[in-house]
Amino acid sequence: MDFDKDFLERLFEQAIESPRLRQSFDLRTSSADSSQRILNALLSGTVVPIHRHLNTSETVICLCGKMDEVIYEESDSNKEVPSLREVQRIRLCPAEARYGCQVPMGAWHTVEVIEPSVIFEAKDGAYAPVTSENVWSYE
């Protein structure tokens, strides 16, 4: 399978039709595959909740577009109501020779899409959905 311009354009077309303004393409060979590899087309305005992966780091490579990977840490300014504070913002933009990053295991993170982008994401281990305790809640 080739990931050429036509393939990425079709992925963007599907993202436009999605209410979430993004579309993923699973690169695993089967549901039993013991790795996580996807292409993800992201449009400006998509909202990816702040989340974390407790058992794996995440490799993100930007194939096209421009976006920021935003890393947070929990703030202990008020121990009764935990909050997050931004600690790193990593610009991903191949046109600027900024190709990718590694999100550390357990780090809270999200993305902010500046221009329509396609990223390759890889994580260790078999796919497991992010659980509610690993999605940041502002309540």
Q: Where are the domains of the chain?
A: 5-124
Instruction: List pLDDT tens digits, range 81-109.
Output: 678 999 999 999 999 999 999 999 999 99
Confidence at residue 132, expressed as pLDDT on a 0 to 100 scale: 84
CATH of 5-124, one of 3.40.50.880, 3.40.50.800, 2.60.120.10, 3.40.190.10: 2.60.120.10
Share of the chain above pLDDT 70, in %: 95
Which residue, among 109, 89, 91, has the nearest Cα to 49 in the 3D structure?
Answer: 109
128 and 46 in contact (C-beta within 8 Å)? no
pLDDT beyond 90 at 59 = yes
* Whole-prediction pTM: 0.89
